[in-house]
């Protein structure tokens, strides 16, 4: 079985199209896709949001047998696509067999509000410092996992969340969506030496912090999945960690925002009954001539 995992698409259909064009159509029946949130930007584009999301799923469906997803903080909490091959894992479990490999999947969408600066146009946050909220998420995940496992002995248990667990690939200096857009606009701008020095001082003064979820971390102690896939913290995208037999993958981010060259990432997992291998790749074409490279990506 081949599993493609992405996150933080932000509605960039052109970038997703580049990814889909790389996938071999003959392997469609052996391939599933996982989207770990921030599929599109509901608050920024409410009139076209549902249409954009539908187009994203339709494009992936041309090369994938099934698609599993959780909404991110910029998605609609109630995001729903009426299709048998598209499954929302937000606080739900699902059992599936593809290519002779069986999976039990469970997930949770949205993000803890401490991981986002105030004023961001988010639509799906939760406050895990409120006991009833964190306990509710933990309960829903446990029940969902039990349902997915009922009567089955899957080859792999996979947790899909938008947020990382606290302490795993979650270290970041928060960046707002507005700051990401501005950083794109000034990426090639010349900076005076003195101004540049002041910018460096400000950058050093901002201490990176942990943006992950303690609620998800506690659930991991109970569930101990084989694989945990998440996104959200962009500058940790492409990071792989292993702890207590759990393999963690931060699959941020398919969108070019906020980091044009270190974005466009996707994960490929090849799962067999005896184990799995993985590769992180980028849609950036490194074989272009330098002028074409600059024009295309910068």
- What is the pLDDT averaged over residues 129-140? 96
Distance of alpha carbon 57 from its chain centroid, rounded? 15
CA–CA dist 276, 130 (Å, integer): 38
Q: Name the more confident of 207 and 217.
A: 217
| Class for the domain spanning 2-297 | alpha beta
Q: What is the pLDDT of residue 208?
A: 59
CA–CA dist 62, 48 (Å, integer): 22
Phi and psi at residue 175, to the nearest 5°:
-130, 130
Note the pLDDT tens digit of each residue in 27-46.
899 999 999 999 999 998 89
Note the pLDDT tens digit of each residue in 39-95.
999 998 899 999 999 999 999 999 999 999 999 999 999 998 989 999 999 999 999
Task: With a cut of 90, say whether residue 191 has pLDDT above it.
Answer: no
- The domain ranges of the chain are 2-297
- A 10 A CB-CB count for 222 gives 10
**pTM as predicted:** 0.87
């Amino acid at each position: 079985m081949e599993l493609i995992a992405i996150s933080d698409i932000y509605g960039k259909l052109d970038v997703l199209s580049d990814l889909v064009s790389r996938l071999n159509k003959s392997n469609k029946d052996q391939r599933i896709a996982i989207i770990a949130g921030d599929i599109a930007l509901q608050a920024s584009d409410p009139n076209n949001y549902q249409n954009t999301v539908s187009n994203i799923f339709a494009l992936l469906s041309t090369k994938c047998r099934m698609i599993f997803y959780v909404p991110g903080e910029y998605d609609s909490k109630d995001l729903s696509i009426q299709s048998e091959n598209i499954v929302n894992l937000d606080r739900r479990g699902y059992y599936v067999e593809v290519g002779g490999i069986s999976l039990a999947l469970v997930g949770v969408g949205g993000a803890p509000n401490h991981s986002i600066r105030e004023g961001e146009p988010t639509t799906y946050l939760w406050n895990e410092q409120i006991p009833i909220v964190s306990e509710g998420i933990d309960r829903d995940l446990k029940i969902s996992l039990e349902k997915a496992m009922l009567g089955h002995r899957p080859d792999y248990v996979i947790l899909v969340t938008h947020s990382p667990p606290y302490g795993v690939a979650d270290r970041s200096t928060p960046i707002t969506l507005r700051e990401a857009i501005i950083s794109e606009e000034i990426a090639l701008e010349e900076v005076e030496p003195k101004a540049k020095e002041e910018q460096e001082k400000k950058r050093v003064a901002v201490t990176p912090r942990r943006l992950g979820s303690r609620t998800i971390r506690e659930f991991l102690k109970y569930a101990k999945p084989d694989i945990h896939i998440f996104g959200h913290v962009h500058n940790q995208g492409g990071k792989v960690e292993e702890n207590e037999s759990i393999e963690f993958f931060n699959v941020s981010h398919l969108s070019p925002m906020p980091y044009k060259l270190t974005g466009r990432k996707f994960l490929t997992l090849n799962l067999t009954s005896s184990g799995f291998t993985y590769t992180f790749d980028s849609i950036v074409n490194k074989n272009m001539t330098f002028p074409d490279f600059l024009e295309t990506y910068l």
